[in-house]
Structures are given as C-alpha cells and as structure tokens.
Chain A
Amino acid sequence: MKRTIVAHVENVPGVLARVDGLFRRHSLDVESLLFEGGSGATARLTVVLRASADAAALVVRQMRRFGDVREAHEAGSEISHDTVARLRPAL
C-alpha cells in the first residue's frame, strides 16, 4: 500500500543516504522523494513508498533514531505533543 512519510532533517550531506539506507534495508520501493532544503539548516523530506502499515511504522521509528533526523511521521498519522515539543526548537 502507498504510504507517505514526512521527515524534518538536518540539511547536511549524507542525510539522504542515511534515510535511504533504511528503505534499502527494509527492501521498500520508493515511488517519489522530495527534498526541500534550499540553503536552510533543515530540510523537509517527503517520501511516498509502498509498504505495509507495520513496515512503515517501524521505518518511521527507526528514522527518528538518526542524529540528523529531527522528526519523522507518517502523513495522516497524529503527531504527539511530545513530537511537537521536540520539533519546535528545530523550526
């Protein structure tokens, strides 16, 4: 099933490869990937991929472990207060 994952990441070289490494490891097909960083310190990453609900949820949670990923969630899923609090200083 198609799922959309949105992440706020540090706009640094290697961050795309790090995130993509997760898709590779879980063998997920990426349908589209949009990286909006410009010259800012952070970037917004929007990925559409084909994955089961479980796989998408696990990938999102593993993505959050990365040092250069500030926040990640599946589009349409609720963002918790905890997440908002973590996200705020970054934005």
Chain B
Amino acid sequence: MSTAIRTETETRPRVRAARLFADELVRLGVTHVFGHPGGTMLPLYDALYDTPAITHLLVRHEQCGAHAAEGYARATGRPGVCMATSGPGATNLITGLADAMMDSTPVVAITAQVPTHLIGRDGFQEADIFGLTQPVTKHNWIVRDPASLVPTIRKAFRMATTGRPGPVLVDVPRDYLQAEIEVPDEAAEPTHRGRRAEASALRHAALAISNARRPVLYVGGGVISSGASEELKRLAQKARIPVTTTLMGKGGYPETDPLSLGMLGMHGTAYANWAIHESDLIIGVGVRFDDRVTLKLAAWAPHARIVHIDVDESEIGKNRKADYPLAGDARTVLHQLIPLVGAPDTKAWWARIEELRAQFPLRYDERTDAILPQYAVERLWERTRGLRPILTTDVGQHQMFAAQYWKCDEPRTFITSGGLGTMGFGLPAAMGAQCGMPGRLVINLNGDGSFQQTMQALITAVEAKLPIKVVILDNGSLGMVRQWQELFYEKRFFSVALANPDFTKLAEAMGAAGFRARTPGELDAAYDAMLAVTDRPAVVDVVVDPSENCYPMWPAGVGIEGMIPVCPRKKGEGASR
C-alpha cells in the first residue's frame, strides 16, 4: 500500500466486505475457525475459500464449535473463533458462549444474520441473536452498516482479550457481507497494560500478609488468564504460604510442589478445606468465592480476613467482603506486592497443615477385580506425566476425580468447564486445544454420559487428522447424578442408567481408533495402544466400577463439619492406596 497521505478527494479501492473481513481475521492472528456454514454465512465462507492462512474445522453441531474455540483459547491464551449461520446455527452457539462467559474465556463468535430487509419480519432462519446472546457474552454487536464491519471485528477481539477476558459475538447481516466497501485503515494495535493496584491498598495488604500466622493463598482462573503463575510462585515461596487452587486455577501453581494443597471446595481435599477454615488470612487471587468453593458462605473461613485480587472490580465483595480489596490484573498486582511482603512466621501453621494432610489423605481402595475411576485417572497421569500432556475434561464424577488425582504443574494444561458445568465440553475443547498446540499430547478425559452429548466432534477431529486421545470412564450411568440420588434422594435412582453404544465400534465407525480396558490388568496396555496412535483420534473405553462415588464431598449449604472426607461405607475395609 502507498505510504503517501491520502487527500480528502482520493477514493479508496472498494472491495467486497466479506473479503476484508477474512483478511482482517488473518491480521488479527486467527489460525483456526470452528464453524458450520449455512445460507446467510456463504459470502464469508466464499472468502475463506481464498484464505489459506485460516484452517476451517467443520463441526457437526455449532455447540462443538464454541467449545472448540474455548479449548483453543484456554490452551494458547489467544482468542478462539467460532462461526455459525443465522437462526438455528447461531442459537446452537449459546451454550458454549454461556460456558465461556462463566469461565472468562476469550472467544469471538461470528454469526451471519438474515439480510437487513428481512430483519424483524421473521425471515427464514432469522433469530434475534443479538438479543439472545446479550446475557451470555461480555459484549456483542449487530453490525449496523457495512463500513463498520472491520472496526467492529477489531473491537471484538480487543474486548474478548483485555481486562477480564470473555466471549463476544458479532452478528453480520448477509447483505453487508456482500456489500462493496472501502478498504479501511490498518489499525495500530493499542498496547494493553495490566491494571495496577492502588499503592496504599497494596501497603495495607502487604502488612496483613507479613503479620499473618495462618495464611492461605486461594487462587483461581484469573492467575492463568493473566499469566501470573511465576509471580504467584515467587510470593508463595518467599512467604511460605500454602496454596490451594480452584478447579479453574489448576495449573496456576504446581500441584506436585510441597506448598500445594490441591483443589478446595465441594470435592476438594479435606486438608485444603480445613486449612481455609482455620486460616487467619486468605489471599484470593483471580477467584470469585463461588458456591462450589464456599458451600455455606456465612460459615466459610470464619476466622479469616480477606485479601482479594481481581481484575473485575464487581467481583470484589460480591460474595465475601474483602478486608483488603486489590482491584487489578493478577500478574501486575502480585508483581507490585512481592517486594512489600515480608516472611510471616508460618512454622506452627505448617506443622498444623502437615497434621491435616496426614489425617485426611486422598485415598481409594486397591482392587484387582474392577477398575476404580480414581485408579484409571492416576495411572493415566503416571503414564503420561513425562510427556507434558494437556488434559481436557467434561463434567461429572470423572471431572472431580481428575481434579483430585491429575496433578497439574503447568498453566493452560487443565481445561475444564468450571462455572457452567457444561456436559459436552471436553471432547470439542480437546479438538480446539490440539489445533492451537499441534505438537502437544492432548487428552480428553470424559464420562460415558458427557461423551454422548458432543461425540460427533470426533468426526471433525478425524477429518482434521488430530491425534487427540479420549479416555472414557464408563460406569454405565450419569455417575454424579446417581451419587446425589444415592446420598440425598434415598437411592431412588431415576433416569441415570445408560444403555451405551459400544464405544470402540463407535470410534472405529467414525474413523478413530478404539480400545477397551475392563480390568486393572488391561489398563496400561490400552493406554499404550492409545498413545501409539498418532494419525487420528484414539478412544479408550475404560469400564469402571459403577458404584464408586466421589469423596471427599462437602454438600452445599452445610458447614465444614458436614464434609464427608472418605467414603463412609468403605471405612476400614481392605487396603487403600
């Protein structure tokens, strides 16, 4: 392009908007798009035909596209992009957008809308997607004139990735995609700096940390999205403060480190929950004190004052009052905080924590007749830990077993649906993660129920030759629902038994490899066979004991004394690992 300054009268070349749109996506760094075409979307798909820099993965349901975009974003830190046509295509994205909203995942959804002359007239495949997605996006737009198309997509990417990340949606009427518009100016990327905390607030918080006797770091997804793991490590190790992570925070602090207490909350370790209960100062970093962590908010951490670091000011004090509110980017604020913090005297506190750890270890029975799900997760972890795998999970018992037994040492390697708890997340998320991290081993741990919600994603993964690994913990039921019916509804099991297809044959029918393990003795061989497949997805159906429940369990609405640390019916029975 000429560098000469344009005069007012000079006219710029006019190009089809869809072409400029596709070019802009390339400029914004998009490498993969997860989408499904349809009538109104065709102008953009026609432009993608001539856009070799972008790989399009053809999903078999738009929900898979949205979750794949989430997986891509969570693994890489760059926004994931999904696309859908107007009407049903766009409405199918909503679950994935709501999921991304709850987990603060940067996703850009692009939807086509019916041509402007049909909007509001119930045109074929018209849905008010701008209205429908307002509550489940960080922001959304319907493009109101062709010239604002490119500026809007730039704004969308910026908004998805800055501050507290989240999903955004751009809805574009078909006639605007077909319009001929002037080539827009190249945008200068504004540099984004993380928000800093106020100096006096920082000093007060630092003093509180230095003087604490029983401090706990409670860290969540904000640490991962702001890239604050190194700073967190420095703070924890300088002040010798135990670290417990939320489900979303897994990987934010290395779980094999002695300072780590693992996950807290409903199915977290009993020692993490007791440490929180006895703590005198909780340093919450990128967390929101949500109900799966606090269970009974009014009785949670009754002796603790709270330091709360979060980039989203509206989170501070939303659930638990913060004594030391630090609004700002987690990485920036921790960086500011570290030099101000002295080492508190935590010797007695550590003695108490080791006592709690010894009293309430994570445990399960040793069995030779049937595979316990915990054993399947732990073996998978042991077998692959040297390979730096990225794990995605779905939602249910298998997810909580993964939270407990999959020790995660690296940020962006534990990708799960936290806030929304979306069954069907894990497999398409693995597909997205593998696209973003082509050299890495990507494993999806799934349940037999959740796998069936989006299993058609396997076909797309086969098409794209993605070597993702899928491990299904197959207990022939909706395990977590069954667990609740057993514990809270007098074992009146209803609508939880699953008559499953043969998952190995299903995998093979879709073009993937399929393996099965029925006994502990068969498990390692099945994992090895799965890992040996490198040119397509591989699925292992791990048949597990259907009666196994997930403990510890701290039921919602009760105080910590109501937490069930181990399986009651198995206390004292047999050997335990």
Residues of A that sit less than 8 Å from B by CB = 13-14, 17-18, 21, 25, 58, 61-62, 64-68
Contacts and interface: CB of A to CB of B under 8 A. Distances in A.
B325 to A, nearest CB: 12
A67 B314 contact: no
Contact of A61 (B135, B139, B159, B313): B313
Contact of B314 (A14, A18, A64): A64
Given A58-B314, A61-B313, A65-B314, A14 B134 contact: yes
A65 B327 CA distance: 13
Interface string B116-135: 00000000000000110011
A77 to B, nearest CB: 15
A20 B312 CA distance: 21
A62 B135 CA distance: 12
B134 A62 contact: no
15 contacts: A14-B134, A14-B142, A17-B131, A17-B134, A21-B134, A21-B135, A58-B314, A58-B318, A61-B313, A61-B314, A65-B314, A66-B139, A67-B138, A67-B159, A68-B139
Given A61-B313, A65-B312, A66-B139, 9 more contacts: A14-B131, A18-B134, A21-B134, A21-B135, A58-B314, A64-B313, A65-B138, A65-B164, A68-B139
A13 B134 CA distance: 12
A61 B164 CA distance: 14
A5 to B, nearest CB: 14
A17 B140 CA distance: 12
A67 B134 contact: no
A64 B327 CA distance: 14
User: Which 5 pairs of residues, A with B, have the shortest CB-CB distance?
Assistant: A67-B139, A61-B314, A62-B314, A21-B135, A18-B134
Nearest to A14: B130
B47 to A, nearest CB: 27
Contacts of A68: 139
A52 to B, nearest CB: 14
Nearest to B318: A58
Contacts of B318: 58
Contacts of B312: 65
Nearest to A22: B135
B264 to A, nearest CB: 24
B220 to A, nearest CB: 18
B50 to A, nearest CB: 32
A65 B163 CA distance: 10
Contacts of A17: 131, 134
A66 B166 CA distance: 12
Most chain A CB atoms below 10 A, which of B130, B139, B164, B314: B314
A21 B101 CA distance: 15
Interface in B313-333: 313-314, 318
Contacts of A65: 138, 164, 312, 314
B329 to A, nearest CB: 15
Nearest to A66: B139
Contacts of B135: 21, 25
Contacts of A14: 130-131, 134, 142
Nearest to B135: A21
